[in-house]
Chain A
Amino acid sequence: MLLIRCPWCGPRNEVEFSYGGAADVVYPPDPDALSDAEWGEYVFVRDNPRGPFAERWVHTAGCRRWFRAVRNTVTHEFREES
């Protein structure tokens, strides 16, 4: 069970949240300029590191805000400064 710190509501149980996967995925500024391979990479490929991972969560059952957090995918610890 994860204890997740919502930046607005404070630490809350994981059941109040939904997961949004990798953070910082930028929509390509000019999609038409991408090759098929680049577009496929943007749509389907995400980092999947063993260790610190910047990810998105939404406090579904709370304030309903999306936020970014850095969590270690091995220890499940959230990094404070995130």
Chain B
Amino acid sequence: MTHPDRLWRNPCLKWSYDVVIVGGGGHGLATAYYLAREHGITNVAVLEKGWLAGGNMARNTTIIRSNYLMDESAAIYEHAMKLWEGLSDELDYDILFSQRGVLNLAHTLGDVREGVRRVNANRLNGVDAEWLTPDQVKEFCPIVDISPDVRYPVLGATLQPRGGIAKHDHVAWAYARAADRLGVDLVQGCEVTGFVRSGGRVVGVDTNRGPIRAGAVALASAGHSSVLASLAGLRLPIQSHPLQAMVSELLEPVHPCVVMSNHVHVYVSQAHKGELVLGAGIDPFNSYAQRGSVHVVEHQLAAALELFPVFGHAHVLRTWAGIVDTSPDASPIVGPTPVPGLYVNCGWGTGGFKATPASGWVYAHTIAHGEPHALNRPFGLDRFTTGALVDEHGAAAVAH
């Protein structure tokens, strides 16, 4: 494919839209695309305070899988997986989706039980899942150390063969181009600073470029969701944390799949260009700084060396952080809010990249119909009142 010179227009900001989406990350862009494509709503603006997809979309480690434990999660993440599988074709742009398989290692009896249970739960939900013995792990990923005499020996692993990685920038650009072509305005350097209210209703946003009217306002602002919601008088059950990741220098192909270990606490894949991509858990404190502490990185490296002694020869090229929006049950919040005219899509925390297509798809449906799709109905704000949580802490621990 010869790459086009420009993927999207630099549009003139209009004073009014049917839908204004706040945040031009993956979820905002996908939402705009599906609003236009599935629901014929094209008078849409995506307002991004920085540059397009410069937040977590630019910073994530691109692991894609749908092997979540709970039925509600399996349904929405598997919907995403199916969309991923057709996405390069649908968007006519190669997103480098590589279904190389995702391993979740088990190191303790508890891990083994949880893993086997999850494999069974996944299968019941139509999600591909296998349980591997240590030898099969070695066969699938020869560089994992499966020797029994380490502190946390590999006792087995779950494998989702259809899991893998994609190229995050390409995903953002592909959605941006497709949305732009359908008439969506993608506006960079436009920060939402407040909401225009009429009666109780949100009827627009205030921005650094002036007020903009909107039939509906849809937050897709990840780590900044609480800040925006509070401007509308809404408190969300969200805490923002730094999440760090790092890459090595470019290496020859050495690591064929994605390996995650909740127990030793690291995950590693090798990107298309050749860098090893590593990450683990959040820094514990709340932060909006896109910066974490070095001991967290040290811990990830120690864990990586424990699993992959061969990495002792690699060098860390770069570390960075994003701001992730964590929820009490490690599940997202996607739906209407108590404020009429205002919708929220947040709480994807450390693992929302994999959901990008489904998140945009169900969110677009929700905005178009004024009520959630069956796939995101369980992920409403109301669950924190009813108590019907979708607790994914187990399947989401290292969680990407």
Contact = CB atoms under 8 A, between A and B. Distances in A.
B284 A41 contact: no
Given A53-B286, A73-B240, A74-B288, A44 B384 contact: yes
Given A14-B295, A37-B385, A47 B235 contact: yes
A71 B286 CA distance: 10
Contact of B384 (A45, A55, A73): A45
A1 to B, nearest CB: 5
Nearest to A37: B385
Interface string A33-63: 0001100110111111110010100000000
Contact of B284 (A19, A37, A50, A75): A19
Given A15-B295, A73-B288, A48 B236 contact: yes
B235 A45 contact: yes
Nearest to A35: B385
B377 to A, nearest CB: 18
B237 A50 contact: no
Interface string B368-397: 000000000000000011110000000000
A40 B384 contact: yes
* Chief secondary structure at chain B's binding surface: loop
Contact of B328 (A18, A44, A75): A44
A55 B286 contact: yes
The interface size bin for chain B is 20 to 34
A76 interface: yes
Given A1-B295, A73-B286, A73-B287, A46 B384 contact: no
Given A36-B385, A55-B285, A55-B286, A46 B294 contact: no
Given A1-B293, A1-B294, A50-B227, A44 B288 contact: no
B235 A76 contact: no
Contacts of A76: 287, 289, 291
Nearest to B285: A19
Contacts of A48: 226-227, 236, 238-240, 286
Contacts of A43: 328, 384
Interface in B217-233: 224, 226-227, 230
A21 to B, nearest CB: 7
Interface in B263-322: 284-289, 291, 293-295
Contact of A46 (B239, B291, B386): B239
Contacts of B294: 1
B241 to A, nearest CB: 10
Contact of A74 (B239, B285, B289, B295): B289
25 contacts: A1-B294, A19-B285, A21-B286, A36-B385, A36-B386, A36-B387, A37-B385, A40-B385, A40-B387, A44-B237, A44-B328, A45-B384, A47-B226, A47-B235, A48-B238, A48-B286, A49-B226, A49-B227, A53-B286, A55-B286, A73-B287, A73-B288, A74-B287, A74-B288, A76-B289
Interface of B: 224, 226-227, 230, 235-240, 284-289, 291, 293-295, 328, 384-387
Name the 7 nearest CB pairs between A and B, nearest first.
Answer: A48-B226, A19-B284, A44-B237, A40-B385, A44-B384, A40-B384, A50-B288
